[in-house]
C-alpha cells in the first residue's frame, strides 16, 4: 500500500536554479507565526476548549470545499451530515468512507493538499485515503481527537497561530471573545469581525425582524434612517472595544453610493413598511455601504469587500440544506465605477482602509492593481475562496505586482472554517510566494536580498498594515 | 532546402525533469483510439467513401481556420475557392500556392502544427511549404488522394478513430447514418448530433419556413407552442434512435429561462404571424432552450452549449460568401445567472447532463469550474474553436482544475470539418495534458501513478462520461 | 553598499536550454534602432534642444508611473512637484529623496527596471537608490544633464531612436515639427499624431469653446455637423502634410456607429446650444468616431484606439493637480459589437487600418485576436500603459498568437513622456519577445530560423506595417 508523504519541495518550481532560490526563500518564512485576519472558526471552540467529537463533523460536514466536490460526483449532502440534526456515529463513519472512496476526485485541487497536510502533519497518518483505508484513518483521527493535545486551544498553539479573526453578527454579544479576553490562562489573540450584510439588504424578507432585534440589542429606535446609522455606529464601537479590526461585506455588486438624505429617509421608510422593491433595496444598500465607509473613515475599522457571488444557486439544495453548503457561484464584478463615490470621498482619508477581494480574476490587472497603485487606502485582497490555490496564487502575483508592487497586497487570507487546514493554507501561500519571487530572482528582476525581504514582508508586514494589527 | 520534421518532444516542457515525466505520461496515451463526440465531418464522406477530389477542396476551402488567416493577410476568399460554384483545377492549384506562400503567417498558431502533422504523418511529405515547394506538395498530396488508402473509410481506420459524431439539422433524414449502420462492411461508429439552433430563433426571417418544413417532416402541426414542443420531441427521438448522444446549441447568450404557458403561446403566435420583435425573439428562444433542457432530462441526450459568438461579423463577406468562412467573432458571456433557471430545475436530475463551452476564458475559473464543482450534471467543455491550441489548453487546465478537478471536464473536442487534422488535434491535447500533469508531478502535487491514471482518464473516461458513450 | 548592476540575462527564462535560445534571439535584435510610433515626448524638447533643468523635473514630476506609486504609499503629489507652478531646487532635491527612500515600493514593477536601466545605461551610476544615496545620485545626474551629451538631440542619437511620434492637439500649429523638418542640422524623424479626443466629446463643458477655436484655426464655420466634418478633414490633412501617420482616440467605450444625417445634425445643434445630454453626447461621439474612420479610409492615416479608462477617478486630486497624474483607472471594454459598424463599412477597405489597444486583457484572446485574424485592417496593439511590463507581455503573446499569429500585432509601443526610459522599455519588450519565442523553439513549435526571422519582424516589420512607416 502506498505511503502518504509530503515532499519538502512541493509547489516549488521544477527548474533546478529556480527551485534552489525558492527553497531559500521558503525556508526563511516557513516557520513564521500565522496571522489570520479573516476567517470563520467559531470563537466558542477556543472559549470552551471542548474536544472535537469526531473526524466527520470536524473535517467534512462544515467544510463546503469538501462537500461540494462530493456533491458534484453524485453524493447527497445528507449523507455527509449537511443539515442533519441527528447524524449517528455510524453515519459519520460512512461519510468519511465516502470521502476516502472519492479521493481521486480531488486530484489537482488544493483540498487534496490541505487534507493530506492535515493527515501527515497534524495527525501523523501516512495512509493514502481510499475505500480500503477509510476506517483505519477514521479511527486514528478519532483517537487523536480524544487526547488533550487535540483540543482547540492546544491546537491553536501547535498550529502556530498568532492572530485569528472570527466573523460575527452585529447582534452578537461577543461573549466568547469576552471570555477569552478575561481568561488569564489563555494567551492567544482572537478578534471578532463585524459582518453586517443581512442588515444592509432591506428588500429581503428577514430584514425588518433583524433590524428590530438589533435595535433592541442597542436600545436604539431603528424606525428612521438616522436610527439605522446610530445602531451601526453603536455596534461597530462595541466590536472595536472588543478587539475587532475590520468589518466584512459581501453583496451582489460592489457599488457604494450615497443618497440625498431625503431620498435615503424615503426608501428607509418604504423598507420599514415592507414595501421596498428589489431595485430600491439595492439602491438603499449601496447608501448603507457608503455609511459604513464613512464610519470606517472615522472609527478606523478596515473594510473588506468580496462582492458578486450568486448565493444558493441551486434553490432545492438551499431549501433542504440551507446556506453555505457549496452552492454559491461567482459572477463577474466591476470595481472601477462601483467604488468611485466611496474613494472620491474617503480614498485619501488617513483613517480609511479597504481591502478588495474578488473571485473574478479579470479585475486584478484591470482594476484592483491600478486602484491600489494610486489610492493609499486600497489593498488588493489575496486570492480567496475558489481561487485560494497554487495556480491562482501564481496568476494573482503575475497580474497585480507589475502595477501595484508587493506592498499594496493584503497578505494571505485563509477565510476558512476548517480549523486544522489553516497551517496548510498559509504554507501553500508561502510556498507559492516564494516560487513567484524565485522566478524574479532567477531572471534578475530582484536581487536575493530584495526577495528575502519581500518574502518576509508578505507574511508579516502586509497583513499587519492592511488590517492595522 | 529545409526538411519538414516533427520532433517527438514537441509541446513537452523544456525543463529536463518535467519533460521526462511528460514523455512518460504522453507515451501512455499517445496511441489510444480517438473519441470525437462533437465535430463537423460530413457523414456522406464515410457513407459514400468517394475519393477526395483534390488537396485544396480537402485542406483549404472548407476550413475557416485556414482561410480566415489568409484573408487577414489580404487574400480574397474567392481565390481560395470559398463560395465558388466553379473552381477549376488551375484555381485549386493556385489556391494551394497562396497557402504555401503565406506559410509564415501561421507561425505560432495551431493551424501550422496541424497542417505539418498532416503533411508528415498522413501524407509522408517532408517539404516545408513555400512558394517554391507548393506545386510539388500539391502533386504529392493529389497522388495520394487518388489511392484506395486515402479514401474516407480507409482513413477512418488509419487515423485511429473509434467514435465520430457529426452535426446535423433536425430535418435531416440521417440517411448517411442509416446507410452506415446498415452496412455490414463498415465497423466504425459515426453518430449524428441534433443541432436545432435555427428552429430556436423565432425572430429570424427564415424561421417560419424552417418550422413549416420540420412540421411536414414529422407530420405535426407547428401552429402552436405545443406543436413546436411535439416536433422537437419527435425529432430528438428520431435522432436518438439513430445513435445520437447529444444535442448542440449556440446562441448569442447562454440564458435558459421558462415562460408561463400563456406567455409562451402568445409569443409563439406572434412569431408564426411574423410579428415578433428581436427582443421577444430572444425571450422565446430562451424558453425554447428551457424546453430542450427539460427534454434532455427526460430522453437523456447530453446538451452542449457554446454561446456568445457574433456570427457573420463582416456583413459584405457574409453576403458574398455565406456563413462559416472565418468571420465569426466571440463575445463576453455570462453563465452564472443565465443557466440558473435550468440548473435549479434539472441540475440534479439523474438523466440530465450539459457541457458548457466558451471562448471567453474568463468564465473558466469564475463560473464554469464552480458550477461543475457543485452540479453533478455540469461538465466544463474543452477549449474550443479559437482556443483549441496549446497555450489556451494550458490556461484552461490551470483555470479549472483547482476548483473542479479533472473529472468534471469534457475531454477533448476537435469540433472540426478538417477530417485529416483530427489526429493532430487530439495529439496536441494529449501532449498538453501530459505537460500539465507533468508540472503537477514535478512539483509534487500528484504522484506519478495518479498522473498516469488521470492522463488515461482524460482521453478515455472523461468523454465517455460527459457524452454517455 | 550594494552596487547597482544590470544582468545581461535579465528577463530571459531560467531554464538553461530556453535561456540559451533566448540569448541568441535577443542578441539578434538588441541593437536594432527604436521605432516609436506612439508616445508623449514634447516635440519642443527636440526643436529647442534646451538642456534638462534637473533630475526631478525630468524623471519624477511628469511621469505618472512614478508618482502614482509614491501617492499610494502616502506621499503627497505636491511634494513631487506635480501641479506646482513654483518648485524650488531644494524641493526638487527633496522629491528625489522621497523617490529613493521608497525604492522598495517599486519591487516587481517595470518602473524599477526602467529607472535602473536609466541610472546604469544612460547616466553610468552604480548606486542602489536609497535614502542614503539619494543626494549623491541626484548630483551625479544633475552634473550629466549640464553636459552637451545630455541635451535632447544628443540623447535622441545615443538612445538609438529612428522614429519618434508625438501626440498633438488638432489646433496645434505643429511649429516644433516644422522647425525640426526645416532644420538642416537635424536628421532625426519626429512625427506628430492627431489626437482629437476633446473635440469628439460634445457633452463636456469645454467642447463649444474648443470647437470655436478649432474653427478659427481653419477658418471654417463649425456651426453645423458638416462644419465639424470639414474642420476635421482640414486638420487631418494639415497633420498628414506635416508627417503624421496616425490618429489617436481614447473614449469611455469603443463604440463607433454612424447616425442618420438628420439625427446627426439635430444632436450637433443641441450640442452647439449647450443642451445635449450626457447620453446624447455619447451617441454623437460615436458618430464622430465613425467619421474619423471614414476619413481614415480616405486619407490613410492609421487609427489607434485605446478606450475604456475612467479618467481622473479621484475628484479631489483632479481638482487640485489636474489630469494625467496617475488617477486614471481602467474599465472593462467590449470591442466585438462596438467596432462592428466601423469594420462592416471599412474593414476591408485598402486604405483603412486600425490598431486596437486595451488594458482589459480579457479581450486579447476573446475579441482582438479573432478580429485581427480575419480583418486585414485590424492590428492588435501591444500591451500598454499599466500592462507595459514583462508578465503582461508574456500573457499577451500567449493570448493572441495562437489565433492571430505574430504578423497581426502592432509592434512595441512605449507611449511614454519619460524620454530617457524609451530604450529600457523597448529593450524589455525585445527581451520578453525573445523569451516567448524561445519557449516555442524549446518545445519545437518553431525552428530557430523561424524564430530569428520573427524576432526581427516584431521590432522592424510589424510597426512599419501597422503604422505605414
Distance CA A348, CA C399 (A): 36
Q: Packing angle between helix B64-72 and helix B89-101, nearest 10 degrees? A: 70
Q: Which of A17, A378, A440 sits opposite C108 (nearest CB)?
A: A440
Cβ contact C196:C289 at 8 Å: no
Which residues from chain A sit within 8 angstroms of residue C11, using beta carbons? 443-445
* Long-range contacts, stretch A120-124, CB < 8 angstroms, 24+ apart: A120/A4, A120/A5, A120/A6, A121/A6, A121/A423, A121/A424, A122/A155, A122/A158, A122/A159, A122/A420, A122/A423
Q: What is the mean pLDDT of residues C207-211?
A: 98
The reported pLDDT for the residue numbered B1 is: 62
Q: Which residues of B touch C378 (CB under 8 A)?
A: 72
Contact predicate A394/A354, CB 8 Å:
no
Measured between beta carbons, the chain C residues lying within 8 angstroms of B392 are 365, 402
Closest Cβ–Cβ partner in A344, A402, A444 for C10? A444
Residue C19 to residue B365: CA distance in whole angstroms: 31
Query: How would you classify residue A160: left for phi > 0, otherwise alpha for psi between -120 and 50, otherwise beta?
Result: left
SS3 content of chain A, % helix, strand, coil (to 5): 55, 5, 40
Residue contact B386–C372, C-beta within 8 A: no
CB contact under 8 A, A9 and B343: no
Residue in the block written with cell 544612460? C122
Using CA atoms, how far residue C279 sits from A329, C261, C271, C274, in Å, is 34, 18, 12, 14
- Phi and psi angles of residue C16, each rounded to the nearest 5 degrees, phi first: -60, -40
A441: helix, coil or strand?
Answer: helix
* Cell triple for B15: 525543463
Residue in B109, B111, B110, B78 with CA at minimum distance from that of residue B95 = B78
Residue C1: the pLDDT is 61
Q: Where are the beta strands (DSSP E) in B306-408?
A: 309-310, 329-330, 354-356, 378-380
Q: Which of B7, B69, B72, B367 to mutate to test the interface with C (most CBs of C within 10 A)?
A: B72
d(CA B218, CA B238): 10
**What pLDDT, on a 0 to 100 scale, did the predictor assign at position B2?**
80
Residues of C in Cβ contact (< 8 Å) with B310: 336-337, 340
Provide CB contacts within 8 A for C292, sequence distance 6+: C196, C200, C232, C247, C249, C303
Best of A11, A15, A105, A329 to substitute, by most chain B Cβ atoms within 10 angstroms, is A329
Contacts of A115 in chain B (CB under 8 A): none
| Contact check, Cβ <8 Å, B340/A310 | yes
Q: How far is C315 from chain B (nearest CA, A)?
A: 31
Cα A445 from Cα A270, distance rounded (Å) = 58
Sheet holding C246-249, edge to edge: C246-249, C302-305, C354-356, C378-380
CA distance A405 to A462: 12
Q: Give the gap in angstroms from C-alpha C104 to the nearest C-alpha of chain A.
A: 8
DSSP state, residue A12: S
Distance from C-alpha of C282 to C-alpha of C267, rounded to nearest angstrom: 11
- Residue A258: its chain C contacts at CB < 8 A? none
Query: What pLDDT, in 10s, does the model give residues C297-326?
Result: 999 999 999 999 999 999 999 999 999 999
- Which of B13, B105, B107, B439 to substitute to test the interface with C, most C CBs within 10 Å? B107
Flag if B402 and A395 touch (Cβ within 8 Å).
no
Residue of C nearest to B431 (CA): C443
- Asked if C439 and B14 come within 8 Å (Cβ–Cβ), the reply is yes
User: Sign of torsion, CA B66 B70 B72 B75?
Assistant: negative
The CA distance from C65 to the nearest CA of chain A, in Å, is 9
Interchain proximity A104–B365, CB inside 8 Å? no
Residue of A108, A367, A438 to mutate, testing the B interface (most B Cβ within 10 Å of its Cβ): A108
User: Consecutive 10-residue runs of chain A (469 residues): their mean pLDDT?
Assistant: 92 98 98 98 97 97 96 98 95 98 98 98 98 98 98 98 98 98 97 98 97 97 98 98 98 98 98 98 98 98 98 97 95 98 98 98 98 98 97 98 98 96 98 98 98 98 98
User: C327 and A447 in contact by Cβ < 8 A?
Assistant: no
Per-residue pLDDT of chain B (469 residues; tens, 9 = 90+): 689 999 999 999 999 999 999 999 999 999 999 999 999 999 999 999 999 999 999 999 999 999 999 999 999 999 999 999 999 999 999 999 999 999 999 999 999 999 999 999 999 999 999 999 999 999 999 999 999 999 999 999 999 999 999 999 999 999 999 999 999 999 999 999 999 999 999 999 999 999 999 999 999 999 999 999 999 999 999 999 999 999 999 999 999 999 999 999 999 999 999 999 999 999 999 999 999 999 999 999 999 999 999 999 999 999 999 999 999 999 999 999 999 999 999 999 999 999 999 999 999 999 999 999 999 999 999 999 999 999 999 999 999 999 999 999 999 999 999 999 999 999 999 999 999 999 999 999 999 999 999 999 999 999 999 999 9
The secondary structure of chain C, three-state, reads CCECCCCCCCCCCCCHHHHHHHHHHHHHHCCCCEEECCCCCCHHHHHHCCCCCCHHHHHCCCCHHHHHHHHHCCCCHHHHCCCCCCCCHHHHHHHHHHHHHCHHHHCCCHHHHHHHHHHHHHCCCCECCCCCCHHHHHHHHHHHHCCHHHCHHHHHHHCCEEEEECCECCCCCCHHHHHHHHCCCCCCCEECCECCHHHHCCCCCCHHHHHHHHHHHHCCCCCCHHHHHHHHHHHHHHHHHCCCCEEEECCCCCCCCCCCHHHHHHHHHHHHCCCCCHHHHHHHHHHHHHHHHHHHHHHCCEEEECCCEECCCCHHHHHHHCCCCCCCEECCCCCCCCCHHHHHHHCCCCCCCEEECCCCCHHHHHHHHHHHCCCCCEEECCCCHHHCCHHHHHHHHHHHHHHHCCCCECCCCCCCCCHHHHHHHHHHHHHHHHHHHHHHHHCCCCCHHHHHHHHHHHHCHHHHHHCCC
Of A344, A366, A440, nearest to C330 by CB-CB distance is A366
Cα(B255)–Cα(B257) distance, rounded to whole angstroms? Answer: 6
Q: A285: distance to nearest CA of chain B, Å? A: 21
At residue B189's C-alpha, the angle toward residues B185 and B195, to 5°, is: 130
**In which band, very low, low, confident or very high, does the pLDDT at C99 lie, cut at 50, 70 and 90?**
very high
Are A444 and C11 a contacting pair at CB < 8 A? yes
Cell readout for B200 is: 430556436
The grid coordinates listed for C443 are 518545445
Q: Which of B40, B26, B33, B28 is nearest to B160 (CA)?
A: B33
Q: Do B11 and C444 touch (CB under 8 A)?
A: yes
Mean pLDDT of chain C: 97
Best of A16, A367, A404, A405 to mutate (most C CBs within 10 Å, chain C): A405
Task: Output the CA angle B418-B423-B429, nearest 5 degrees.
Answer: 105
Amino acid C410: pLDDT: 98
CA distance A403 to A366: 10
**Do C336 and B317 make contact, defined as CB atoms within 8 angstroms?**
no
Output the nine-digit C-alpha cell for B229: 414542443
Q: Check pLDDT > 80 for residue C156.
A: yes
| Beta-carbon contacts below 8 Å between A and B | 134
A248: phi then psi, degrees, rounded to nearest 5 = -125, 135
Chains with 3+ CB–CB pairs under 8 A to A are: B, C
Question: Which one of C344, C374, C402 has the shortest CB-CB distance to B68?
Answer: C374
Contact B382/B306 with Cβ under 8 angstroms? no
Q: Which of A71, A72, A321, A383 to mutate to test the interface with B (most CBs of B within 10 A)?
A: A72
**∠ CA B108-B109-B115, rounded to 5°:** 115
And the C-alpha cell for B204? 429570424
C-alpha cell of C41? 515626448
Distance between CA C150 and CA C156 in Å, rounded?
9
CA distances from residue A455 to A339, A363, A398, B164, B181 in whole angstroms, order as listed: 30, 24, 15, 52, 64
DSSP, collapsed to helix, strand or coil, labels residue A124 as coil
- Residue pair A327/A309 in contact (Cβ under 8 Å)? The answer is no
The helix (run of H) or strand (run of E) holding residue B246 is: strand B246-249
- Residue C423, min C-alpha distance to chain B (Å): 27
Return the number of other C-beta atoms located less than 10 Å from residue C468's C-beta. 14
Are C330 and A370 inside 8 Å of each other by CB? Answer: yes
pTM beyond cutoff 0.95: yes
Q: Which residue of A has its CA nearest to C329?
A: A370
CB contact (8 A) between residue A386 and residue B374: no
Nearest to A109 among B344, B405, B453 (CB): B405
Q: Tell me whether residues A332 and B334 touch, CB distance under 8 A.
A: yes
Contacts of A311 (CB under 8 A, 6+ apart): A323, A328
Residue A121 is classified by DSSP as: I
Whole-number pLDDT of residue A2: 80
Judging contacts by C-beta atoms under 8 Å, the chain C residues touching residue A348 are: 314, 316-317
Q: Kindly list the distances between the CA atom of residue C19 and the CA atoms of A333, B109, C438, in Å, as whole numbers in the listed order.
A: 39, 22, 7
Which domains does chain A possess?
52-150 (1.10.2020.10), 154-466 (3.20.20.140)
The answer to whether A313 contacts B406, with C-beta atoms less than 8 Å apart, is no
pLDDT at C83 over 70: yes
Number of Cβ within 10 Å of residue C250's Cβ equals 16
Q: How high is the ipTM of this complex?
A: 0.98
Half-sphere exposure for C126 (CA within 13 Å, toward CB): 6
Q: Distance between CA atoms of C450 and B346, rounded to whole angstroms?
A: 52
Choose among A370, A442, A447: nearest Cβ to C14.
Answer: A442
Cell numbers given for C12: 530571459
C199 Cα to chain A: minimum distance (Å): 24
pLDDT value for B271: 98
Chain C residues with CB-CB distance to B386 below 8 A: 365, 369-370, 373, 402-403
From chain B, the residues in CB contact with A107 under 8 A are: 405-406, 446, 450, 454
Amino acid at each position: 500500500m502506498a505511503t502518504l508523504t509530503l515532499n519538502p519541495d512541493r509547489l516549488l518550481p521544477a527548474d533546478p536554479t529556480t527551485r534552489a532560490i525558492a527553497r531559500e526563500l521558503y525556508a526563511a518564512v516557513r516557520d513564521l507565526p500565522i496571522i489570520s485576519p479573516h476567517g470563520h472558526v467559531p470563537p466558542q471552540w477556543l472559549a470552551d476548549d471542548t474536544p472535537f467529537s469526531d473526524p466527520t463533523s470536524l473535517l467534512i460536514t462544515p467544510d463546503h470545499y469538501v462537500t461540494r466536490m462530493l456533491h458534484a460526483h453524485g453524493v447527497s449532502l445528507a449523507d455527509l451530515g449537511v443539515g442533519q440534526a441527528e447524524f449517528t456515529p455510524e453515519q459519520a463513519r460512512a461519510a468519511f468512507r465516502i470521502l476516502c472512496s472519492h479521493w481521486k476526485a480531488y486530484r489537482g485541487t488544493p483540498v487534496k493538499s490541505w487534507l493530506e497536510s492535515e493527515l501527515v502533519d497534524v495527525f501523523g497518518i501516512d495512509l493514502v485515503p481510499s475505500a480500503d483505508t477509510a476506517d483505519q484513518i477514521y479511527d486514528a483521527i478519532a483517537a487523536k481527537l480524544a487526547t488533550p493535545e487535540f483540543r482547540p486551544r492546544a491546537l491553536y498553539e501547535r498550529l502556530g497561530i498568532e492572530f485569528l479573526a472570527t466573523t460575527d453578527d452585529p447582534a452578537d454579544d461577543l461573549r466568547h471573545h469576552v471570555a477569552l479576553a478575561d481568561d488569564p490562562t489563555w494567551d492567544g489573540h482572537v478578534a471578532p469581525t463585524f459582518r453586517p450584510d443581512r442588515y444592509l439588504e432591506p428588500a429581503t424578507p428577514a430584514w425588518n425582524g433583524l433590524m428590530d432585534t438589533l435595535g433592541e440589542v442597542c436600545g436604539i429606535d431603528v424606525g428612521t434612517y438616522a436610527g439605522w446609522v446610530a445602531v451601526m455606529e453603536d455596534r461597530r464601537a462595541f466590536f472595536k472595544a472588543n478587539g475587532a479590526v475590520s468589518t466584512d461585506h459581501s453583496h451582489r455588486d460592489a457599488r457604494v453610493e450615497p443618497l440625498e438624505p431625503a431620498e435615503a429617509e424615503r426608501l428607509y421608510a418604504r423598507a420599514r413598511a415592507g414595501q421596498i422593491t428589489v431595485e430600491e433595496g439595492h439602491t438603499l444598500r449601496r447608501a448603507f455601504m457608503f455609511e459604513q465607509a464613512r464610519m470606517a473613515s472615522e472609527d478606523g475599522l478596515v473594510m473588506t469587500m468580496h462582492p458578486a457571488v450568486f448565493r444558493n444557486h441551486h434553490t432545492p439544495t438551499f431549501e433542504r440544506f440551507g446556506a453555505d453548503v457549496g452552492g454559491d457561484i461567482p459572477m463577474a464584478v466591476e470595481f472601477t465605477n462601483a467604488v468611485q463615490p466611496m474613494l472620491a470621498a474617503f480614498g485619501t482619508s488617513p483613517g480609511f482602509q479597504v481591502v478588495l477581494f474578488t473571485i473574478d480574476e479579470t479585475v486584478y490587472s484591470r482594476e484592483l492593481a491600478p486602484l491600489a497603485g494610486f489610492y493609499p487606502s486600497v489593498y488588493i485582497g489575496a486570492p480567496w475562496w475558489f481561487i485560494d490555490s497554487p495556480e491562482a496564487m501564481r496568476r494573482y502575483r503575475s497580474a497585480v505586482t507589475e502595477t501595484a508592487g508587493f506592498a499594496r497586497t493584503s497578505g494571505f487570507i485563509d477565510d476558512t472554517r476548517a480549523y486544522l487546514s489553516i497551517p496548510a493554507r498559509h504554507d501553500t501561500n508561502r510556498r507559492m510566494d516564494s516560487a513567484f519571487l524565485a522566478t524574479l530572482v532567477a531572471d534578475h528582476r530582484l536581487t536575493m536580498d530584495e526577495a528575502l525581504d519581500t518574502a518576509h514582508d508578505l507574511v508579516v508586514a502586509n497583513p499587519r498594515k492592511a488590517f492595522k494589527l
